[in-house]
Amino acid sequence: MPFKTRLKALYPEAIAETTNRQIQDLVDSYTSSIPSARHELSQADIVLICYADHVQSTGLSPLQTLWRFLESHVAGAINSVHILPFYPYSSDDGFSVIDYCQVDPNAGAWQDIMELAKNYRLMFDAVINHISQESSWFQGYLAGDEQFADYFVACPAEQDNLAVVRPRTLPLLTTFTTASGQEKHIWTTFSADQVDLNYRNPAVLLAVLEVLLFYLAQGARLLRLDAIAFLWKEPGTSCIHLPQTHEVIKLVRAVLSAVAPATIIITETNVPHEENVSYFGNGNDEAHLVYNFTLPPLLAHSMIQGNSTKLTNWAQSLSLPSDQVCFFNFTASHDGVGLRPVEGILTSGEITSLADTAQAHGGFVSFKRNEDDSQSPYELNCNYMDLLTDPNASDSLRVKRLLVSQAIMLAMPGVPGIYFHSLVGSSNDVEGVKRSGRYRSINREKLDYETLMSELQDDGSIRDQVFSALKSLLQIRKSDSAFHPFGGFEFPGLGDEVFAAVRLAPDKNRTVIAIHNLTDRDVTVTPQTNSRSFTDLVSGQELALSEITLRPYQFMWLVVGEK
């Protein structure tokens, strides 16, 4: 096992040798308690992204209520669930973790997680760049506990950190006072309550590896490495995407694979596309899945403009380093729509226009601090349906535009993730922003289970229209081998009003041409194939035409030459 090779890239020889032995002991201690069977990804793998308490009901814990919703409404359409951080936390809706190995009692208990794991493949968050200042680790550090003496990154106040890439406008260093009265300037990339861990200390690496193995023992089959690009700190550098960070991820993969080969690692790096895909490594040694962060803002731009040119050009540039990795495609999440991933694809004017649209539709814009101390838009905080279409528009138009965006996401090569509020047709939670004072609350609303059920069962309501149509699309996608995450893909340019994706099953015996009208008018296209016989998977309609006309915002998934 290549543990030592990775460790030698991080630490001196003697420390690498000792740490290697400690990791091997850790691996041996978990091997018998974690299933080792492999799971081969397929088109049936569709992930629901949700908080543990997205739906709540009287008499049940939020996790039990989530299980109730899944079993009664999405079983058969979705086989995997990404439960956003469900650990005790002090801020940021879970991403400031107090205790990695406990379930927030307000959400439920480990038994609830284990019950969910019986029927669904679970993705856990590994929030391992930072930890809450209320954690026992950081409190031990402040108290002078030798165990935690080097767990965090203390810097001289005068240290030049101008080169450090900043994802927020908040200060990079936060001043804390130890129990002995000493002031420490501690690295806090994201907020004063999210204290960065010091991976220069191998004890930190070992502690984190034990947490990850514990997650596997509790039912995790996918691990999302949150904010992983910022993991390693090196004075005088940008402190993002450093070689040591990649080595740590490769080590994590090697360790987890030694215990549970079925484990899938997914990296969360909200950065420009070329930087993002670097986390695939050589295609066999780093992330199995990489979040496709460019898709949400670029798709929103294309929908708003009614023009697919830049989306098609970008899609045509997509490539993968091996047939063992793929993208994790999504449009909405608990965070906003990141704008850094479209740097170099959209002009600054187009990015500003997208931000203006978000604000005009009731959303907000978050900013980051640049190296020259200026600020620039970092993230759109807006429900995705409201970003695409003015909330004052008709329900019919809002539903059509959301559905075509989700159809495009589902047709992209890779594994799809659909956010809870997109699935159930939610809108901006402006009141939630007022209560919390945080822009990201706009798409994190907690819903009453009984109220949600009533709205989903209200024939013709916007929730019913969205939910019913998306469930149908999910069923279609999961049943068709052409959408296999490791299948072939092409993006023919069929005009700037249409986005087209050709998907090819791994055995090359089945082809689907997915065409999507991004405009409010009829569009006629000629699929680039010798066949003139198609079946539309969406409508079930059989077609024998050389030209196909799409109504406004209509999409077709055409099987070539067969029913």
Give the catalytic positions in this structure. Answer: 226
Question: Do 294 and 341 form a contact (C-beta atoms < 8 A)?
Answer: yes
AA identity, residue 60: L
Question: Do 548 and 554 form a contact (C-beta atoms < 8 A)?
Answer: no
Residue bearing tokens 């994590």: 252
- For the CA atoms of 344, 350, 356, 361, the dihedral, rounded to the nearest 10 degrees, stands at -100
Q: What is the DSSP letter of 191?
A: B
- Cα 121 to Cα 124, 223, 336: the distances in Å are 10, 11, 25
- What distance in Å separates the CA atoms of residue 417 and residue 50, rounded to the nearest whole number? 10
- What distance in Å separates the CA atoms of residue 212 and residue 248, rounded to the nearest whole number? 13
- Cα 326 to Cα 42, 290, 292, 366: the distances in Å are 11, 7, 9, 29
- What distance in Å separates the CA atoms of residue 556 and residue 514, rounded to the nearest whole number? 6
The per-residue DSSP string of 26-74 comes to HHHHHGGGS--------TT--EEEE-TTSEE-TTS-HHHHHHHHIIIII
SS3 state of residue 517: strand
Spatial CA neighbour of 554 closest among 462, 485, 469:
469
- What distance in Å separates the CA atoms of residue 242 and residue 228, rounded to the nearest whole number? 11
- What distance in Å separates the CA atoms of residue 395 and residue 386, rounded to the nearest whole number? 11
- Cα 236 to Cα 9, 160, 164, 521, 556: the distances in Å are 19, 7, 8, 54, 52
Spatial CA neighbour of 50 closest among 83, 73, 80, 77:
83
- What distance in Å separates the CA atoms of residue 74 and residue 448, rounded to the nearest whole number? 17
